[in-house]
Structure 1
Amino acid sequence: MEAAVFILSLVDCCALIFLSVYFIITLSDLECDYINARACCSKLNKWVIPELIGQALATVLMLVSMHWFIFLLNLPVASWNIYRYVKVPMGNMGVFDPTEIHNRGQLKSHMKEAMIKLGFHLLCFFIYLYSMILALIND
């Protein structure tokens, strides 16, 4: 059972790594003017909810399987994703808004957030991999 939890978490983490890389590539395309702000924001907003669900799934899996350290490691990122989604101002297109993405350095902050999430998901990937191998050996 424990190995199955970590295998599912590993697959989920791979999807979140892919999404983080996708966010970085799309934001860097906007930064270099390869795509316009509206196209960039519509591409990214399409993946905000799947990212939120993926992070929440990993967090809930660790809570249910009583891996407290990993749960506490995932909780701030899941909370941040939920907070960011809930606090979208009325009238905005989504978390990424084309009229505001170039204002007040939002593009840089979105890029920094995507880089931090990529580093976090890579760390989690190796933690899940180690825990999965340990669980398989112990079973």
Structure 2
Amino acid sequence: MILAETLLFALALIDCGAILFLLIYYIITLSDLECDYLNAQECCEKLNYWLLPKYIAHSFITFLLLFHGQILLFMLNLPMFIWTTFEYFTVPRGNLGAYDPTEINNRGQLKKHLRDVMIYIGYYLIFFFIYLYSFILALLKGDPIRRGSDDDIVTEI
């Protein structure tokens, strides 16, 4: 084990929460573009800036789960890791990033991006609660209350 189990799940919980906040920012930015509060150039510049931190955050927790031996959680995180890797490294030639200002308003790209962000939010919300449950279980793994006889007085915590 590299880290204590409680620290592992605390990091996973913080990481997943940060990605959730980032995805809410994505939704707000895309909806601002849809309502014409932002132009396409500004919107895509803001969204492309946060692609690498999102990818790093998810890959960090995925590999941390692998190195810690949490194989089931690693296998559940692997499809999203593969998808974010695919999204980050397969930008079409000539585009500025995964979000391109010249194509975002064409052929329903905006709706597709909004749908993808909603799927991400659902995925990370489920994993937020899985990590929270695992964190609580890791905290309670030992016996937090010393259960001796009724006559014993516990003076240390």
Tell me how far apart the structure 2 counterparts of residues 67 and 109 of structure 1 sit (CA, whole Å). 33
User: Of the two, which has the highest radius of gyration?
Assistant: 2
Q: Which residue number in structure 1 is paired with residue 20 of structure 2? A: 17
2:52 to 49, 52, 59: 49
- Give the letter for the 1:86 counterpart: F
How far apart, in 2, do the equivalents of 1:113 and 1:16 lie?
14
User: Which protein has greater RCO, CA pairs closer than 8 Å, 6+ apart?
Assistant: 1
* TM-score between both structures, scaled by the size of structure 1: 0.97
The answer to whether structure 1 residue 96 and structure 2 residue 99 are counterparts is yes
- Structure with higher helix content: 1
Identical pairs, percent:
53
Q: Which runs of 4+ in 1 moved over 6 A?
A: none
> Following superposition of structure 1 onto structure 2, how do residues 78-97 of structure 1 map, counting pairs within 5 Å?
78-97=81-100
Q: Which residue in the other structure is 1:68 paired with?
A: 71
Structure 2 length normalisation: TM-score? 0.86
For 1:83 and 1:133, the matched residues in 2 are separated by 33
Pairing of 1:95-114 with structure 2 (within 5 A): 95-114=98-117
Structure 2 unaligned regions, length at least 5:
143-157
For 1:23, give the aligned amino acid.
Answer: Y
Report deviation, 1:84: 1.0
CA offset at residue 96 of structure 1? 0.4
